[in-house]
Chains A and B, each alone.
Chain A
Amino acid sequence: MIIVDDKLSLDALAGRLVRAEPVATTWSFHYRLLRALRDETRWGALTRAATAEALHLAADPPRARLQVLDPRVVTDEAALLAARHGLNVLAAELMAAAKHHAAAVHLSTPNVGRRWPEVMEAEGIALTVA
């Protein structure tokens, strides 16, 4: 399994990110994606072209393209990592999910936090950047 951010989740939904292993995202990144898509002021004509069907698909993605991981199974691990490294919820859930599912993390460049690479290395999480 490979865990991606909000931007790469869109690539997965567009069929542009196809991997041999399952592609997944965390609840927090999925929330960020939907929060952004629902903000019509930011998309202008693009949002007007977006059908309810597309937004519905983003809210409940086909598992073959993108899995949304259940955050509840990693809550304790996320809290532990947050306390250990001073992470926010977004980063803590991401790294806890990667450890729990023994998954690699694949992020778009703007979504790599300043300290994330060193924390992931310390936690034994493989990170690649698109």
Chain B
Amino acid sequence: MHRTNLYLTPEQEKALDARARDAGVSRSALVRAIIDQELSRPRRPDSELEELFGTFADSYEHAVAGLFDEDPDLRIDR
């Protein structure tokens, strides 16, 4: 194994330590397990993601109607 330094927020550190205590493992072992779990997750093919974004784009105008009306900085003045 290789040694790696990571910067964690205080909240991440606290949550990691709590879960490591519950699981009875070290913080390092828990981080390795979380990384393994994330990396083993199957990735969607690019074509599926493209289709999803395309569907979002097709529905965008309808879905966001009025969403920004209460924020004058993000409102389109029409």
Contact = CB atoms under 8 A, between A and B. Distances in A.
A28 B76 contact: no
Contact of B63 (A42, A88, A113, A116): A42
B53 A88 contact: no
Contacts of A13: 49-50, 53
B76 A111 contact: yes
Nearest to A110: B61
Interface in A28-45: 28, 31-32, 35-37, 39, 42-43
Interface stretch (A47-55, A67-75, A96-104, A121-129): A47-55
B35 interface: no
Interface string B47-70: 001111111110111011001100
B36 to A, nearest CB: 17
Majority DSSP secondary structure for residues of A touching B: helix
A32 B74 contact: yes
Contact of A15 (B50, B60, B67): B50
Size range of the chain B interface in the assembly:
20 to 34
Nearest to B51: A14
Contacts of B68: 32, 35
B50 A36 contact: no
A116 B44 CA distance: 39
Interface string A46-84: 100111011001100000000000000000000000000
B76 A42 contact: no
Most A CB contacts (10 A, CB to CB) among B50, B51, B72, B73 go to B73
Contacts of A32: 64, 68, 74
A42 B64 contact: yes
B78 interface: yes
Interface of A: 6-8, 10-11, 13-16, 28, 31-32, 35-37, 39, 42-43, 46, 49-51, 53-54, 57-58, 88-91, 108, 110-116
